[in-house]
């Protein structure tokens, strides 16, 4: 049967594509437990040495603290902006709505290196570069569209009569928002917060340009990689991966499962 051979070939190709995509991820986790400074075949012995050294490194600890502050603040700002915009889009019609939505949705289509240069130049011109909050400002711009998209999808599922019913029963617009819209959106809000935090936690180009002396974890990785072959990168990478995946799985649990069902 030629059909079966074709299917076999296609599935084999699919498998190869997955191998290509996951090879570097799996390899970095394996290398992080490998004793050789420069991993090759056959592998060296099992060690947790690289994890010990990064936990002992004060600079990496400082960077981890910076990263946590940046990604948490970013997620709060981006999710707030995303919610306000998604709600406006859901409820109101007005002139220039197209350009209004473009304003929040366009940043991901601009290459990060260009955003990095533009942010650096502008923030230093207004005297706001080189601070931790410079990164927070930049990351909020970059991640707000993702929060907006998730929240807009959720608002798409609400019955518009619910809010109207609350108004008719005498509640103010604020009260209706708090008692009807926000509870309905809660899973999406948590999901958007996790997702924006995860994106911010991984971003290095813009953070590298505007951070000055306040380095985040990805910026430290960039600097280590520039220097030499250092397996500590694999250990840091594996921990970052673990953190991001936890956030994504949380986002998934709170949102994607429910949207699928609703």
Residues 188-227 that bind another protein (CB under 8 A): 198, 202, 204-205, 209, 218, 221-222, 225
| Helices and strands of the chain, counted as H and E runs | 13, 0
Q: Can you tell me the distance from the alpha carbon of 87 to that of 101, in angstroms, rounded to the nearest whole number?
A: 12
Q: Which of 1, 5, 41, 56 is close enough to bind another protein by CB under 8 A?
A: 41
Binding residues among 139-168 for another protein as defined by CB under 8 A: 140-141, 144
* Range in contact with another protein (rule: CB under 8 A) among 13-21, 49-57, 160-168, 182-190: 13-21
Per the CB < 8 A criterion, the answer to whether 235 and 32 are in contact is yes
Cβ within 8 Å of residue 171, ≥6 positions away: 179
The footprint of another protein on residues 228-257 (CB under 8 A) is 229, 233-234, 236-237, 240-241, 244-245, 247-248, 252
- Based on CB atoms, which residue is closest to another protein, 20 or 46? 20
Tell me how many residues contact another protein (CB under 8 A).
77
Map residue 144 onto helix, strand or coil. helix
Nearest alpha-carbon partner for 144 in 206, 84, 97: 84
Find out whether 235 and 217 touch, Cβ atoms under 8 Å. Answer: no
Question: Which of 39, 44, 130, 212 touches another protein by CB under 8 A?
Answer: 39
Q: Please, what is the minimum distance in Å from the beta carbon of residue 124 to another protein?
A: 9
- The first and second tokens of residue 106, run together, are 């366009």
Site for another protein in 101-120 (CB under 8 A): 103-104, 106-107, 109-115, 117-120
Sign of the C-alpha dihedral computed for residues 104, 180, 185 and 74 taken in this order? positive
The yes or no reply on residue 50 touching another protein (CB under 8 A) is: no
Q: Are 182 and 65 in contact (CB under 8 A)?
A: no
For the CB of residue 65, give the shortest distance to another protein in the complex, in Å. Answer: 18
Q: Which stretch binds another protein (CB under 8 A): 54-62, 68-76, 132-140, 185-193?
A: 132-140
What is the phi/psi pair of residue 34, to 5°?
A: -100, 135
Q: CB of residue 260 vs another protein: minimum separation in angstroms?
A: 9
């Amino acid at each position: 049967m030629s059909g079966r051979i074709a299917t076999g070939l296609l599935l084999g190709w699919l498998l190869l594509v997955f191998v290509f995509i996951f090879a570097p991820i799996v390899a970095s986790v394996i290398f992080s437990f490998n004793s050789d400074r420069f991993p090759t075949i056959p592998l060296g012995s099992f060690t947790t040495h690289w994890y010990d050294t990064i936990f002992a490194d004060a600079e990496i600890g400082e960077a981890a603290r910076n990263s946590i502050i940046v990604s948490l603040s970013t997620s709060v700002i981006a999710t707030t902006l995303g919610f306000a915009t998604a709600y406006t889009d859901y409820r109101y019609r007005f002139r220039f709505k197209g350009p209004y939505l473009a304003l929040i949705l366009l940043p991901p289509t601009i290459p990060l290196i260009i955003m990095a240069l533009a942010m650096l130049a502008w923030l230093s011109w207004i005297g706001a570069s080189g601070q931790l909050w410079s990164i927070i400002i930049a990351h909020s711009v970059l991640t707000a569209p993702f929060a907006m998209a998730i929240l807009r999808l959720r608002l798409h599922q609400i019955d518009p009569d619910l809010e109207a019913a609350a108004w008719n029963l005498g509640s103010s617009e604020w009260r209706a928002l708090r008692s009807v819209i926000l509870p309905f959106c809660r899973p999406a809000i948590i999901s958007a917060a996790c997702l924006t935090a995860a994106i911010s936690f991984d971003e290095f180009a813009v953070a590298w340009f505007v951070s000055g002396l306040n380095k985040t974890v990805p910026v430290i990785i960039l600097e280590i990689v520039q220097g030499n072959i250092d397996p500590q990168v694999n250990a840091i990478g594996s921990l970052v991966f673990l953190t991001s995946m936890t956030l994504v799985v949380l986002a998934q649990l709170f949102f994607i499962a429910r949207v699928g069902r609703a």
